[in-house]
Amino acid sequence: MSVRKSATASVRHLAALASTTARPTTERERERRRIAVLCLPFFALAIVAGFVPLAMLVRISLAEDTIWMAGWSLEAWETLATTPTYRRVAWNTLWFVGLATAVSVALGVAVAHVLEKYDLPAKRVVVAAVSFPIALPGIIVAYLIVVLLGRQGLVTNAVAVATGGAPLDLASATAITGLFLGYVYSLLPRATMVLRGTYAEINTQAEEAAHTLGASRWQTFYHVTLPEIRPGIVAAVILTFRSGLAIFGTVLILQSHRVVTLQIHEETSVGSYSPDVAAAIGLVYVAFIVAFTFVGLRFVDNDAVEI
Amino acid sequence: MSDVTLESLTKTYGDETAVDGIDLTIRDGEILGVVGPSGCGKTTTLRTIAGFETPTQGRVLFDEVDVTHVPPEERNVGLVFQSYALFDTMTVRENVAFGLKMQGVPKAERRERADDLLAMLDIAELADRRPTTLSGGQQQRVGLARALAIEPHVLLLDEPMTGLDAELKRRLRDEIGDLLADLEVTTLYVTHDQEEAMAMCDRIAVLSDGTLEQVGPPAEIYRRPATPFVANFIGSSTLLEGVAENGHVDLGFTELPVDAETDGAVRVAARPAAFELDEGQIAADVTDVTYLGDRTQLAATLPDDTTVTLHADGIDGYRVGDSIPLSIDEQRVHVLEAG
Amino acid sequence: MTGPTESDETDSGPASAAESERADPRPDGGTTESATAEKWSRSGTALSTAVGRPLLVGVVTVVVAFLTVPVIVTFVSSFAGSAAGVVPRGFVTFEHWQQVLGFGTHGVQANAIPGLAFSLAIATGGMLLNVVIGVPVAYALARYDFYARDWVNTLAILPLVPGLILGIAFVQTYPNHGRSALGLLAGYCLLKSPYMVLTVQSSFQSMELVRLEESARSLGASWPRTVLTIIIPHAKRGIVAGCIITWTLAAAEFNFTYMVASGSPDPFAIFLYRNISNATHLQSAAAVSVYFTIVVAAILVLQLLGNRGFSTAQR
């Protein structure tokens, strides 16, 4: 009885809200209508281009017949749960992206620190160099890795000349190390961007105070600077890890390590076409990204996360 | 120009009451100052008159017309902020003419009226400049010209002088005060600076905790504060406990020949100037000495242990622990009802 | 951690002893310069100062080289005649540029210009659509405090669905239109909208949004008119910067395009893919250099607008 009453009350409340939003009389109600109008276009696109396709993925993963979208079946999910290959793909992805994230964020701290604290002669060049790659798609990054480490690559040839080995044996672009460097190439600029933002907001007076109290540079960094940039590091880790999970072009060209995006690609390719499994992997993948993001955001101020 | 009346205005945000039942009239052509500590509801009151807040209870009337639910753009209210909020994408002249453009005034007339106002505010030569190139004082003049251009029912000034340096503030205060008086614009002047309010306003309303403590001309507010809060907020006062009887107030250690409306326990508000350092009857002990240049501020304890603040001329060599003879000037004290 | 601490301790002993010997009492109660100079030099000998800075500068130099050298080499060698040896030779030739753009004299003669134009047109469409959806939501987020604001913010600035998955889902959901220009446009818009929202939001946050809006409204401008004539012009720089960023990123968006594009004409990303995975080394260099040229142009425009390169934050 009381449940029904409270349900009626909340329906009535919603109806009142809707009617005041449609015909506002107070400034607060007019404001609510404006917010609705402002958010409407974004949500229209997000629903049409985002939520509906995601719902479709759910349907595909549960379909018995994926061509006509008929029938219901848990087969794809069973395959996903029981085949060891998929567990290996998941593990491959997590350690690889995790390691690339750790290296990128560590280097990002170094770059941001140097840019903020040191008086470099070529500061603008460094800034340009670390922000330029953000605009590069994965396939171009793969090509750049080939330029460095391929059979004709710069590093390959330099090492060959130095050690007298054959470039063909030394080429590592299509080895896992080449792919790893490709990931770092994509992720490092993003990590640096977030960390530079954090560094810019550091209270330098606290650092100066630490110096005057006799702390060495490293002590100052460890006790004063590091706690201040910790939110930035967390934000950079969240962002970099997310971006790393989404890398596809680089791994499509270099092919040296089976991560989740490559697996999804294979499931949708002509030879091994199984869209229901692809959809199931995709859903797990999206669910993981969403969960990771929201758990991560609990540790950090929302505004600290930029792309 | 018109009267603005607030009728038992109340505004709550969730559990917090920002304004609690204020009745107030801004008379046609007067400058009404609203003062009070931060969080007392003065800005909420101003925003409610402008229409950016709809009151939870009560009404806002412009010349007897209820505008409580009229949106801000239809109220014809001039608004000047502390932060100027000029339109950086327009020239000074376009800023001033913006309101007229919204009213559909033809271009030539807009230009003429804007130029007149700029001349009136002594900034005619800035008409073609961008606001970002102006000084703070100049920007504030533009902001005022922009608000006056629409010939508002009421002009609302929200701490317009805060952020300017003291000298400029004094000059602008006198100029703007004269200008508003000449134009006979109905004005609500919100400020936390009571001296500014005293200098510029015809009447002052003192707010505290969302309620109206007292409204009246500056001299009345200063001389006859209605509540202990007003006595302390406008200038500083010492509150003395006493008993009123037959046209006298007995403070225990001395009697003052002042009238109280009723006999019984009362409080007497005394300004620093009420305490005279002469061969008076009251013996006070000096507890603190602050040298202020042209005078010395003393804190002293009266026989009933009340601490009072008073001023002495120059450096008369007062020391902490000295006993000084005081008298109280009954012209400069004001009896409050016992609170 | 212990290294520098110890060196600090051992250093400070003799230094302070020297100080007490040399310090002459001065009338103002301070110490003489020689003594203080001795004191300040203490941190200079700490291990972290001696090693830390050169080490960090070294790391940053390697990082910068790693990021820039392949780009420069690619661009330079796109004008080389031959890359058979260690160092490209035969400068300067535009042969490879002509080749990838479809004006070559041999090999694949497909003209890349229509694909390029098609891609750039779709990127432009996505950008315009982003203005329509991104600016309002950025305004709502910057200006108002409302129920579920944090959720809307997260949704708007963090794309939760990667391009690859969105592409697969898109084609399945809209079999008739998913592969069309309209599908690409909607996808680009959704995928790149966070960049627009963040850039414009930061622009809104840097101005006195509430006061500007209230000033305009008190002067008689209705709310829609206030937004169009006051707020949007004030955020112009942020909007233009957001446009350039979203446009550039959409022009080369690969993951979504790869899943969705049906060919004829090939979007730019597919053109790049073909030229990277299936062409001579120098031809790939030329194709990639075409995109570099576009990005550099975009960054130059951004810097003219006072933005920090490809950052969504404003100075």
Going from N- to C-terminal start, the domains of chain B cover 4-228, 237-337
Q: Which residues of A touch C301 (CB under 8 A)?
A: none
ipTM given for this complex: 0.84
Asked if C125 and C117 touch (Cβ cutoff 8 Å), the reply is no
Of the partner residues C211, C218, C236, the one whose CB lies closest to the CB of residue B78 = C218
Directed axis angle between helix A176-200 and helix A226-246, to 10°?
140
Given an 8 Å threshold on Cβ–Cβ distance, is C221 in contact with B73?
yes
- Show residues of chain A in contact with B49, CB under 8 Å: none
The most confident of the ranges A161-165, B150-154, C89-93, C290-294 is: B150-154
**Res A236 pLDDT > 70:** yes
CA distance C224 to chain B (A): 11
The CATH class given to the C113-304 domain equals: mainly alpha
**Domain B4-228: which topology?**
Rossmann fold (3.40.50)
Q: State the average pLDDT over residues A51-70.
A: 83
Beta-carbon separation of C221 and B76 below 8 A: no
Residue C16, pLDDT score:
40
Give the residue-averaged pLDDT of A242-251: 88
DSSP code of C89?
B
- Contact yes or no for B56/B10 (Cβ under 8 A): yes
Find the Cα–Cα–Cα–Cα dihedral C114, C116, C122, C127, rounded to 10°. Answer: -150
Nearest one of A40, A127, A264 to C164, comparing CA atoms? A264
CA–CA distance from A43 to each of A50, B220, C208 (Å)?
9, 59, 27
Residue contact C284–A143, C-beta within 8 A: yes
Is pLDDT of A59 > 90?
A: no
Name the DSSP letter for residue C24: P
| Residues of chain C found within 8 Å of residue B85, distances taken between Cβ atoms | 208, 211-212, 214-215
Mean pLDDT, rounded, of chain C? 76
Q: Given a cut of 90, is residue B95 above it in pLDDT?
A: yes
Test the B interface: residue of A26, A28, A29, A30 with most B CBs within 10 Å:
A26
Contact C162 A249 (CB under 8 A): no
C132: closest CA of chain A, how far (Å): 7
* C212: nearest CA partner in chain B: B85
Query: B touches which chains (3+ CB pairs under 8 A)?
Result: A, C
Using one digit for the tens of pLDDT, what is the confidence trace for A84-111? 888 888 888 899 999 999 999 999 998 9
According to the model, what pLDDT value does residue C106 have?
Answer: 52
Mutation pick from C203, C204, C218 vs chain B, by most beta carbons of B within 10 Å, is: C218
Residue A277: pLDDT over 80: yes
Q: Is C219's CB within 8 Å of B99's CB?
A: yes
Nearest CA in chain B to A25: B69
Of C211, C221, C226, the CB nearest to B85: C211
CB B222 within 8 A of CB B232: no
> Which one of A129-133, A241-245, C282-286 scores highest in mean pLDDT?
A241-245
Write down which chains contact chain C via at least 3 CB pairs under 8 A.
Answer: A, B
Average the pLDDT over each of A71-80, A286-295, C1-10, C185-194 and give the range with the smallest value.
Answer: C1-10
The answer as to CATH 3.40.30.10 being correct for domain B237-337 is: no
Q: What is the pLDDT of residue C312?
A: 60
Number of A to B CB contacts under 8 A, please give it.
12
CA separation for the pair A122, C64 (Å, rounded): 11
Name the residue among C222, C226, C234 with its Cβ closest to that of B89.
C234
Rounded average pLDDT over A200-211 = 80
DSSP state of C146: -
**What does the mean pLDDT of chain B come to?**
87
Taking CB atoms and an 8 Å cut-off, how many pairs form between chains B and C? Answer: 63
pLDDT, residue C306, reads 63
**DSSP letters for A191-234:** HHHHHHHHHHT--HHHHHHHHHTT--HHHHIIIIIHHHHHHHHH
Question: How does pLDDT run across C113-170, given as a tens digit for each residue?
Answer: 777 788 888 888 988 999 999 999 999 999 998 888 888 888 888 777 888 888 888 8
Phi/psi of residue B299, nearest 5 degrees: -110, 135
d(CA B213, CA B207): 6
pLDDT over 50 at C278, yes or no: yes
Indicate whether C308 pLDDT > 70: no
Alpha carbon C16 to chain centroid, angstroms: 51
Of the listed ranges C42-46, C168-172, C301-305, the one predicted with least confidence: C42-46
Write the pLDDT tens digit of every residue in B127-173: 999 999 998 889 999 999 999 999 999 999 998 888 788 888 888 88
* Interface contact A113-C56, CB threshold 8 A: yes
In this structure, are residues A243 and A187 in contact, taking their beta carbons and an 8 Å threshold? yes
CA distance B198 to B170: 12
**Domains in chain A, start-ordered, CATH in brackets?**
2-61 (no CATH), 77-304 (1.10.3720.10)
Residues of A in contact with C12 (CB under 8 A): 214
Asked whether the predicted pLDDT for residue B194 surpasses 90, the reply is no
Structure-model confidence comparison of residues A24 and B79, the more confident one: B79
Contact B102 C217 (CB under 8 A): no
- Residue C104 or residue B113, greater confidence: B113
| Dihedral pair phi/psi, residue B334, rounded to 5° | -140, 130
pLDDT digits (tens, 9 = 90+) for B305-327: 888 888 887 666 788 888 888 88
| Chains touching chain A, criterion 3+ CB pairs below 8 Å | B, C
pTM: 0.81
Supply the pLDDT for residue C49.
Answer: 64
Q: For residues B2 and C57, which has the higher predicted lDDT (pLDDT)?
A: C57
- Cβ–Cβ contact B57 with C under 8 A: no
Q: Please judge whether B98 and C217 are an interchain contact, meaning their C-beta atoms are less than 8 angstroms apart.
A: no
The highest-confidence range among A188-192, C29-33, C246-250, by mean pLDDT, is A188-192
More confident residue, B232 or C44: B232
**Where are chain C's structural domains?**
2-77, 113-304
Reading across the β-sheet that carries B255-256, which strands appear in turn?
Answer: B255-256, B248-250, B238-245, B264-270, B333-337
Query: In terms of pLDDT, which residue wins out, C251 or B261?
Result: C251
Q: Find the residue in A nearest to B71 (Cα).
A: A27
